[in-house]
Structure 1
């Protein structure tokens, strides 16, 4: 199947699919490979790929683009707060972040059949509010992204090549880069925690998938490379996770200048505190809990963890169990 992006989609078969489904119990409906790029996605991605490629961007849109586990949720909360909640009194501020700043490509992980009265839809207030009468099968988060009021902040883990070239000429993109060692450990935990991945293999197995670009979303270095090649575009801002942690206020000033919010230092300091790890965890209204492996959750924590250099702490203690 040829996508509008020019990528050829091919379903995984045989031993490769069997090994993936042995290690990732969440991939029961299959996987597909996109070339060029060897991107790997769930089989349902083809249902939404062309809609995402042809998504109608607006001049005021800000897109938070990252490979998984690079600080996406933190960044999207910072940007949404800068643009919508500078006084911390927005009526929707306590809704899940992915409803306020929707995860554009999330639909490929959702069940094919989602009843309008299902528990999942009951916990998706923005779809109920903004997409009345719409069919969830046409993409819950895709439709939310199209319907949310301006200014829109939208999150994606897809690379630039799966979007229409007009994206950067229309919207602004904040691309977040993180030390790949930390990405690895965070993605490992994420893949064990969420049942739609359901990883049950060893750390050594996961490392092979990561190095070879055989995790869902493909190769980290290729993903970053596509952003780096566009680094001089005026509508692209490269944000390094480590810089954001080390000097949050300085990086928030750069973000504010880039997205045009013109916030004062006092306002930025308050936003830095409001979006700190402790405060975000305290406000955690993560509806993904229904999709957690609760044994992993109790043992290793949920979605919000420390955001630290996991390889420094975990390699000595956990490397023996590879």
Structure 2
């Protein structure tokens, strides 16, 4: 007696990746590290300030060289090659969301756009974004110090559409674009919620600014905890820690990573011709965010 053929079940489709990335985005030297230090202290709610050298646990970077090497194993990729970085980027981001967590905080300095046809900030992996914007007059001074260049060279760099950070020992290529392009890319309409924080408001109205950040992440806002985290992330605290232990994220081109923590330094440090160039290159965006 012949057996009735059994019906084969359809193969199960792999589950779609969870859109869990919350981007902590900014142009370099705009307050990203400060934001992550605050979040580390708020989320951990410790009795004493979290070590600045543990902050990488709260918002991993999307350009960490070690991660690109890991996803390429057993190969040893040439991380100085832009094409290699862009080919591996999707694997890196899939690795980040592979833990199936509801939220993965990811630091980025990349523009929200494409580099040589590759989308740098894929919407299908993204839950939301936080964008920190800083007066470019002050930012460019920190930028120059951070990269060991003169302010005039920094001003020229942040005005170029092809501005990028090349691979070094710790990080791979980061595609910045000009300051204006970067800001506009992250603050324009997007398919997911984006909270925009001004660095100056974080200084002058920390309870309001950091409170909005906590709410954006969907974390309960507790006043006493908020005040403590703001205090533990203050410039005095983090600069004191850096003097005592150093800071792993300092690239070493300036003596300290945390230098001032104030706004308005540009009024004394920039010559009239450099101020004019900044305002010519970025006038509309500066005006939009109250910097003119």
TM-score of the superposed pair, with normalisation by structure 2: 0.64
Work out which of the residue numbers 298, 301, 311 in structure 1 matches 2:266: 311
The structure-2 alpha-carbon separation of the partners of 1:190 and 1:95, relative to structure 1 and needing over 3 Å to count, comes to closer
Structure 2: stretches of 5+ with no match in the other structure: 1-15, 80-88, 114-119, 165-175, 275-292
How many angstroms apart in 1 are the aligned matches of 2:231 and 2:197? 19
CA contact (8 A) 1:96 1:286 kept: no
CA contact (8 A) 1:70 1:183 kept: yes
How many angstroms apart in 2 are the aligned matches of 1:93 and 1:149? 27
2:189 aligns with 230
- Alpha-carbon displacement from aligned partner over 1:75-100 (angstroms, at most 9, x marks no partner): 12222333x3123479x856442344
2:12 aligns with none
1:245 aligns with 203
Aligned residue for 1:173, secondary structure, equals: strand
The structure-2 alpha-carbon separation of the partners of 1:81 and 1:227, relative to structure 1 and needing over 3 Å to count, comes to same
CA contact (8 A) 1:64 1:175 kept: yes
More moved, 141-150 vs 62-71: 141-150
2:86 aligns with none
1:63 aligns with 23
Work out which of the residue numbers 257, 262, 281 in structure 1 matches 2:215: 257
CA contact (8 A) 1:185 1:311 kept: yes
CA RMSD of aligned residues (A): 3.7
- Alpha-carbon displacement from aligned partner over 1:211-232 (angstroms, at most 9, x marks no partner): 234532220101111122126x
Matches within 5 A, 1:11-160: 58-82=18-42, 84-88=43-47, 95-107=53-65, 142=92, 145=96, 150=101, 151-160=103-112
The structure-2 alpha-carbon separation of the partners of 1:176 and 1:227, relative to structure 1 and needing over 3 Å to count, comes to same
CA contact (8 A) 2:38 2:229 kept: yes
Aligned residue for 1:153, secondary structure, equals: strand
1:210 aligns with 158
More moved, 210-219 vs 69-78: 210-219
Aligned residue for 1:212, secondary structure, equals: coil
How many angstroms apart in 1 are the aligned matches of 2:18 and 2:234? 29
Q: Which is greater in Rg? A: 2
How many angstroms apart in 2 are the aligned matches of 1:244 and 1:136? 43
CA contact (8 A) 1:77 1:275 kept: yes
2:117 aligns with none
Deviation of 1:283 (Å): 2.8
How many angstroms apart in 2 are the aligned matches of 1:136 and 1:304? 37
Structure 1: stretches of 5+ with no match in the other structure: 1-55, 115-130, 193-198
- Alpha-carbon displacement from aligned partner over 1:112-165 (angstroms, at most 9, x marks no partner): 9x8xxxxxxxxxxxxxxxx8xx779578x9588567895532100012212212
The structure-2 alpha-carbon separation of the partners of 1:315 and 1:99, relative to structure 1 and needing over 3 Å to count, comes to same
- Alpha-carbon displacement from aligned partner over 1:239-288 (angstroms, at most 9, x marks no partner): 11111111001112211211111121111111110111111222334124
